[in-house]
Amino acid sequence: MTRTLLLVGTRKGAFMVDGGANRSTWSVSDPMCEGWPVHDLQWDPATGSIYAGAGSPWFGPAVFRSDDLGATWTHSSEGMTYGDDGPKIPAVWNVTPANGSIYAGVEPAGLFRSNDGGATWSHVSGLRDHPSRPTWQPGAGGLICHTIVPHPTDPKRMWVAISAVGTFATEDGGATWEARNHGVAACFLPDPHPETGQCVHKLAMAAGEPDTFYQQNHCGVYRSRDGGRTWDDISAGLSSRFGFVMGTHPRDAATAWVIPLSDPEAGRYAPNGALAVWRTSDRGDTWERQSNGLPQEHAFVGVLREAMSVDRGDPAGIYFGTSTGQLYGSTDEGASWALIADHLPSIWGVQAIEVD
């Protein structure tokens, strides 16, 4: 029996929310990962292992690993360092299995790779060797490498996103990286169209089209059809240009979801207290507001960058968590929504997986 699990990272530990085979009733686990702040969780279907990217204010960064669906965990940050003279690393913000390795995006922004299931880590130094690095500046969440998107078939190709620096891509396995932000505004800078300095919040690849990307940025929503080399602004029709999450459909490259939030200098919560997810079915040309079942009054909640996930069901399920601890889900591609869990710690990451 295949069941849907939601891996939920919060400010105070990770949780597993089990939706069973039909995604209609959900049960919430006890806290995992020793109550550490957990930014992101991912599952490696090749091995069945779950990984959690975390950072403790006392004990530093770590990637936790569970080989038994969360019953027991190990953790390591061995080798996760910029050297004794380099900046200290407080947290792991993203963990992504790819091509037999595990990648970790950290703060301050950089990329590490493990070839032994997370036991030891080595720096993918080419990213921080990019000539723009002396100009990298943090966003409100820090200078963080928060998104890692591997190419589905070519192990030499990968994209990462850094706040507030922008999108980068490698085509040589991480040795060298190219900034890919042309057409994306940095609306908060004197020069709104620099090579880097864009505040990308989330990057998602379209299903079956490895060169099609959707991006939620501080300054708008964008689409690329050439692997991020150029971007088109697709914000028209949305209630706000600002937001954090970006989700893509598991089979339809034209469908994606965002959650617009109020102006970044005016709360960053559901506009007018009415919570809604917005869906495009035509690659961002038009948007549809989806709020059936979501609170439409006094819901001044935020949704952070890792806190949305789309499962592979048919119809696809969509899940998001709020920074005030509510977990919402839809099993009909956003047409209707239900509260799955409440009273969790501030939710930072949501990842839907299907396991046997």
Partner 1 sequence: MAVTVILPRSLVSLIAGTARTTRVEASTVREAIDRLDDASPGLRNRLIDSGPVLREHINVFVDGEQASLDTAVGADATIHVIPAVSGG
Chain residues that interact with partner 1, rule: CB under 8 A: 34, 56-60, 62, 75-78, 81-86, 88-89
Find where tokens 């506009």 sit: 271
CB of 15 to partner 1, least distance (A): 18
What are the two backbone dihedrals, phi and then psi, of residue 149, each rounded to the nearest 5 degrees? -125, 105
Residue whose C-alpha is closest to residue 105's, from 80, 137, 84: 80
Q: Residue 316 corresponds to which amino acid?
A: A
By C-beta, is 73 or 300 nearer to partner 1? Answer: 73
For residue 142, the minimal CB distance to partner 1 (Å) is: 15
Q: Minimum distance from CB of 84 to partner 1 (Å)?
A: 5
Residue number, 83 or 190, with CB nearest to partner 1: 83
- Taking the least distance from each CB to partner 1, the nearer of 260 and 345 is 345
Distances in Å between the Cα of 300 and the Cα atoms of 123, 288, 297 are: 40, 21, 8
List Cα–Cα distances, 123 to 59, 104, 109, 126, in angstroms.
20, 10, 11, 9
330 φ, ψ (degrees, to nearest 5): -135, 135
* Cβ proximity to partner 1, 12 vs 193, nearer residue: 12
Nearer to partner 1, 34 or 354 (CB): 34
- Determine whether 355 is exposed, middle or buried from the number of CB atoms within 10 Å of its CB (0-12, 13-18, 19+): middle
As measured in angstroms, the least distance from the Cβ of 39 to partner 1 is: 17
Least Å distance, CB 33 to partner 1, is: 9
**Residue with smaller CB distance to partner 1, 81 or 230:** 81
Which residue's CB is nearer to partner 1, number 81 or number 99?
A: 81
Residue 82 or 188 having the CB closest to partner 1: 82
Give the end-to-end CA distance of the chain in Å, rounded to a whole number: 6
> Is 261:269 a contact under the CB 8 Å cutoff?
yes
CB 65, min distance to partner 1, A: 12
State in angstroms the smallest separation of the CB of 31 from partner 1: 12
Q: Shortest distance, CB of residue 60 to partner 1, whole angstroms?
A: 6
Q: Which long-range contacts (CB under 8 A, 24 or more apart) does 136-143 make?
A: 136/108, 136/109, 136/162, 136/165, 136/196, 137/164, 137/165, 137/197, 138/108, 138/163, 138/164, 139/163, 139/164, 139/199, 139/218, 140/264, 141/304, 141/305, 142/107, 142/108, 143/107, 143/108, 143/109
